[in-house]
């Protein structure tokens, strides 16, 4: 009888292990593997419901302006031999200023189109990389900003060496926000003058924990841990080490954190955590009635005014 109980227990344990590994691979394919169409936790329809005519006009004109540009295509080779691609718009004004824009999860460089004209009008060259595993860049997995932070060091070097950039701003949305926050903890050249992070998460682990709860109503343990282990094997990083909040503690650059108070995709609480942890000069703007990355849509004029002030203070 005892042997039978042990045998049955072993079978049950084996089935559980196989099931969790299967589930971990499923969630890897859903959340990490390149090219998968994945549904994220969506915001309610009430969020961002009211957008003024002036804001709509500014953003519409900006997107139309961008659609008429013909960015140069630049390439670099990453530390792990991936070909990475970016669009580049060189400003007619020779100011020495440049911004690197970082797009969000499963997006591409064109998704930053509403911001490009603003920066161009301020005299900036604009570099718009496709993150690894996105757009025209190579890579079969999504790094959530972690490996991408090393790629951005290469992009920074490129625009300094090839385009004589003297004042560089990093500006990211969502995953791109966490990416530039992760970059902030690296040894950055003095040409980098400031960092703008709109709707960033603290760590990949905490963000996926949030998604797992709201999409599947599942606890993080053991699925998230198994998926993290599989990600380490297949992509080379764990969810816990991919931490924006650890990186910002080492930041020495002026930092502007923006977040909507109605963000249901990346909880607004994460903005406060990031701000509290960050080193260096820092500013936090929690935007009323704005959902995920919608601060620019909801408060366009104020966004431009606050961002202009930050840029001026950072590059003066």
Mean pLDDT of 29-37: 79
Nearest to 289 by CA among 47, 55, 3, 126: 47
Q: According to CATH, where is 3.40.50.1820 located in the chain?
A: 51-203+242-315
Mean pLDDT of 237-261: 97
Burial of 151 (0-12, 13-18, 19+ CB in 10 A): buried
Q: What is the per-residue pLDDT across 81-91, written as a single tens digit (0 to 9) for each?
A: 999 999 999 99
Residue 61 pLDDT class (50, 70, 90 cuts):
very high
pTM: 0.91
> What per-residue confidence (pLDDT) applies to 222?
79
Contacts 24+ apart (CB under 8 A), 116-122: 116/62, 116/65, 116/66, 116/69, 116/89, 117/61, 117/62, 117/65, 117/66, 118/62, 118/304, 118/307, 119/169, 119/171, 120/89, 120/91, 122/97, 122/308, 122/311
Q: Please list, in sequence order, all residues whose beta carbon lies within 8 angstroms of the beta carbon of residue 55, skipping any fewer than 6 positions away.
A: 297, 298, 299, 300, 301
Place of tokens 């003066």: 316
Nearest to 276 by CA among 253, 252, 248, 240: 248
Task: Extract the tokens encoding 177.
Answer: 């926000």
**What fold is seen in the domain 51-203+242-315?**
Rossmann fold (3.40.50)
> What per-residue confidence (pLDDT) applies to 34?
87
Place of tokens 């593997």: 33
Is-contact 142 287, C-beta < 8 A? no
- Does 53 or 252 have the greater pLDDT score? 252
Q: What is the per-residue pLDDT across 183-215, written as a single tens digit (0 to 9) for each?
A: 999 999 999 999 999 999 999 999 999 988 877
What is the percent of the chain with per-residue pLDDT over 90, rounded to a whole number? Answer: 77
Task: Extract the tokens encoding 160.
Answer: 């300094």
pLDDT at 69 over 70: yes
Mean pLDDT of 67-71: 96
Is-contact 97 134, C-beta < 8 A? no
pLDDT at 288 over 70: yes
Name the DSSP class of 138. Answer: -
> What per-residue confidence (pLDDT) applies to 14?
44
Is-contact 166 191, C-beta < 8 A? yes
> What per-residue confidence (pLDDT) applies to 39?
52
Average pLDDT of the chain to the nearest whole number: 89
> What per-residue confidence (pLDDT) applies to 44?
55
Task: Extract the tokens encoding 316.
Answer: 């003066």
> What per-residue confidence (pLDDT) applies to 35?
74
- Does 39 or 111 have the greater pLDDT score? 111
Mean pLDDT of 84-113: 96
Query: Other CB atoms closer than 10 Å to residue 261's CB: what's the count?
Result: 14
* Cα 56 versus chain centre, distance: 24
Q: Please list, in sequence order, all residues whose beta carbon lies within 8 angstroms of the beta carbon of residue 315, skipping any fewer than 6 positions away.
A: 97, 167, 169, 193, 194
Q: How far is CA 153 from CA 38, 94, 147, 157, 298, in A?
A: 29, 23, 11, 6, 32
Backbone phi, then psi, for 34, in 5-degree steps? -65, 145
Dump strand ranges (E) for 90-166: 97-102, 124-129
């Amino acid at each position: 009888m005892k042997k039978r109980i042990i045998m049955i227990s072993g079978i049950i344990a084996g089935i559980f292990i196989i099931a969790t590994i299967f589930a971990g691979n499923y969630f890897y394919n859903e959340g990490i593997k390149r090219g998968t169409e994945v549904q994220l936790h969506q915001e309610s329809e009430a969020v961002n419901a009211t957008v003024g005519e002036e804001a709509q006009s500014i953003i519409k004109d900006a997107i139309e302006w961008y659609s008429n540009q013909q960015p140069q295509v630049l390439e670099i080779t990453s530390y792990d031999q991936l070909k990475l691609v970016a669009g580049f718009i060189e400003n007619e004004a020779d100011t020495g200023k440049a911004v690197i824009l970082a797009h969000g999860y499963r997006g591409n460089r064109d998704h930053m189109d509403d911001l490009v004209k603003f920066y161009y009008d301020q005299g900036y060259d604009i570099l718009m990389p496709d993150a690894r595993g996105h757009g025209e860049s190579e890579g079969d997995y999504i790094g959530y900003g972690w490996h991408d932070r090393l790629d951005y060091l290469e992009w920074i070097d490129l625009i300094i060496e090839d385009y004589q950039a003297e004042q560089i701003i990093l500006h990211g949305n969502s995953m791109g926000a966490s990416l530039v926050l992760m970059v902030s903890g690296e040894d950055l050249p003095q040409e980098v003058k400031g960092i703008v992070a709109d709707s960033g998460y603290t760590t990949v682990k905490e963000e996926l924990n949030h998604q797992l709860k709201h999409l599947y109503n599942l606890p993080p343990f053991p699925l998230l841990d198994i998926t993290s282990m599989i990600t380490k094997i297949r992509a080379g990083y764990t969810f816990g080490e991919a931490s924006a909040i650890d990186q910002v503690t080492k930041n020495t650059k002026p930092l502007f954190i923006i977040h909507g108070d109605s963000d249901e995709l990346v909880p607004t609480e994460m903005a406060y955590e990031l701000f509290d942890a960050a080193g260096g000069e820092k500013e936090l703007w929690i935007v009323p009635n704005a959902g995920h990355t919608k601060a620019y849509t909801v408060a366009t004029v104020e966004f431009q005014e606050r961002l202009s002030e930050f840029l001026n203070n950072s590059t003066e």
